[in-house]
């Protein structure tokens, strides 16, 4: 369930965390370089990642750039990536003043060839990984769409920034929405996986939602979730009959998205429990993800019961 908004009780909003600020400064600073590098990196790298998926040159480039940038941040003790088997030790004791950062360097990379939206997903944990989402202190994503935006959720709430490259070669960031909240009236839905692979109970739920909302599925989680955050609705990459854990990874896809959407007033579940309560065994564990307006998520859980 959504955490109470610290500022809503009339109290002072919590001070922003300087390490978290430095992490998202580093992520924003890499965004123009990643975007500029994509045209020449649409080809297969010839390698597979720990999830057994083929990796594009763009995935590896983004991973290298973000690894260098994030492990250099004072207060980052460990770095985990979709493209790396194990955590990279960045110095500093995670959980005792240092954070573990988990990233999906390029989410939706299959959209690179078709020139559709992609992104970078970031989770900042106050515990060594694998950890539950309750150990997140912040999360965010960069969305490489017609413009480059960055959504950041932390103790202060959820904000959306536009990230542009300045003449000086650095980045300019302007907050376009300082208190992002899911609209109460949902408008869109996007469900991944092939329809014949959906379990019957999810298919029945999908048929109901299809009669109520507009289909918005672009094939990149960050783009599809950003539609839900903007217009209200639900995104799912469900459990499939031949993949009961779905496709998305908990540490650097589902948990960060769940943290963001919960702080924006929504909900996120694996079909049974809150995503943020799922106990992983490994940093590459997959989990079904259903995320969006609370009422739609509650109906989903009842449908899968």
Ligand X SMILES: O=P(O)(O)OC[C@H]1O[C@](O)(COP(=O)(O)O)[C@@H](O)[C@@H]1O
Residue with smallest beta-carbon separation from ligand X: 221
Q: What DSSP designation does 33 have?
A: H
- Considering the rule CB under 5 A, would residue 135 count as an interface residue with Mg ion? no
SS3 14: coil
The first and second tokens of residue 168, run together, are: 């000086």
Candidate list 75, 77, 92, 108; residue touching ligand X; CB under 6 A:
108
Please count the residues of this chain forming the interface with Mg ion, following the rule CB under 5 A: 4
Residues comprising the chain, all counted: 305
| Among ligand X, Mg ion, none, partner that 237 touches (CB below 5 to 8 angstroms by kind) | ligand X
- Considering the rule CB under 5 A, would residue 104 count as an interface residue with Mg ion? yes
Q: Considering the complex, what minimum distance in angstroms separates the CB of residue 32 from ligand X?
A: 20
Q: Which of residues 38-67 bind ligand X (CB under 6 A)?
A: 53
- Pick the closest to residue 81 from 219, 249, 223 (CA basis): 249
Q: Considering the complex, what minimum distance in angstroms separates the CB of residue 305 from Mg ion?
A: 28
Binding site, annotated residues for Mg(2+)? 82, 104, 106-107, 253
Q: Considering the complex, what minimum distance in angstroms separates the CB of residue 79 from ligand X?
A: 17
Q: Considering the complex, what minimum distance in angstroms separates the CB of residue 49 from ligand X?
A: 8
Question: Residue with structure tokens 């597979």?
Answer: 48
SS3 5: coil
Nearer to Mg ion, 106 or 267 (CB): 106
Q: Considering the complex, what minimum distance in angstroms separates the CB of residue 174 from ligand X?
A: 26
Contact between 34 and 106 (Cβ < 8 Å): yes
Residue 15, Cβ neighbours under 10 Å: how many?
8
Using a 10 angstrom Cβ sphere, with 0-12 exposed, 13-18 middle and 19 or more buried, the burial of residue 263 is buried
| Among Mg ion, ligand X, none, partner that 220 touches (CB below 5 to 8 angstroms by kind) | ligand X
How far apart are the C-alpha atoms of 6 and 14, rounded to whole Å? 7
Nearer to Mg ion, 104 or 154 (CB): 104
Nearer to ligand X, 108 or 186 (CB): 108
Candidate list 192, 233, 265, 288; residue touching ligand X; CB under 6 A:
192
Question: Residue with structure tokens 């307006």?
Answer: 293
- Pick the closest to residue 140 from 33, 284, 236, 17 (CA basis): 17
Contact between 262 and 27 (Cβ < 8 Å): no
| Among Mg ion, ligand X, none, partner that 219 touches (CB below 5 to 8 angstroms by kind) | ligand X
- Considering the rule CB under 6 A, would residue 271 count as an interface residue with ligand X? no
Q: Considering the complex, what minimum distance in angstroms separates the CB of residue 93 from ligand X?
A: 29
CA distances from 293 to 121, 174, 187, 240, 288 (A): 21, 27, 10, 22, 17
Interacting residues with ligand X (CB under 6 A): 53, 82, 104, 107-110, 192-193, 219-221, 237, 247
User: Which residues bind to Mg ion, rule: CB under 5 A?
Assistant: 82, 104, 106-107
């Amino acid at each position: 369930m959504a955490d109470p908004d610290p500022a809503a009780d009339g109290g002072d909003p919590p001070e922003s965390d300087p390490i978290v600020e430095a992490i998202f400064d580093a992520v924003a600073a890499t965004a123009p370089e990643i975007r500029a590098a994509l045209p020449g990196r649409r080809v297969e790298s010839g390698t597979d990642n720990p999830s057994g998926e083929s990796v594009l040159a763009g995935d590896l480039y983004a991973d290298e750039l973000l690894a260098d940038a994030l492990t250099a941040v004072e207060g980052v003790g460990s770095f985990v990536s979709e493209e790396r088997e194990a955590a990279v030790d960045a110095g500093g004791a995670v959980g005792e003043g240092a954070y573990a950062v988990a990233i999906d360097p390029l989410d939706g990379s299959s959209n690179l060839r078709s020139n559709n939206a992609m992104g970078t997903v970031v989770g900042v944990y106050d515990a060594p990984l694998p950890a539950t989402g309750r150990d997140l202190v912040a999360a965010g994503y960069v969305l490489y769409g017609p413009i480059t935006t960055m959504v950041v959720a932390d103790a202060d709430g959820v904000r959306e920034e536009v990230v542009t490259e300045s003449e000086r070669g650095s980045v300019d960031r302007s907050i376009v929405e300082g208190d992002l909240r899911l609209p109460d009236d949902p408008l869109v839905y996007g469900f991944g996986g092939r329809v014949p692979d959906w379990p019957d109970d999810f298919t029945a739920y999908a048929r109901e939602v299809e009669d109520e909302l507009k289909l918005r599925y672009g094939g990149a989680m960050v783009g599809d979730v950003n539609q839900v955050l903007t217009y209200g609705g639900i995104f799912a990459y469900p459990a499939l009959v031949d993949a009961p854990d779905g496709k998305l990874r908990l540490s650097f896809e589902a948990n960060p998205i769940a943290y963001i959407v919960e702080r924006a007033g929504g909900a996120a579940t694996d079909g049974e429990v809150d995503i943020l309560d799922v106990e992983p065994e490994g940093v590459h564990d997959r989990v079904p993800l259903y995320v969006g307006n609370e009422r739609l998520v509650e109906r989903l859980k009842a449908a899968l019961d």
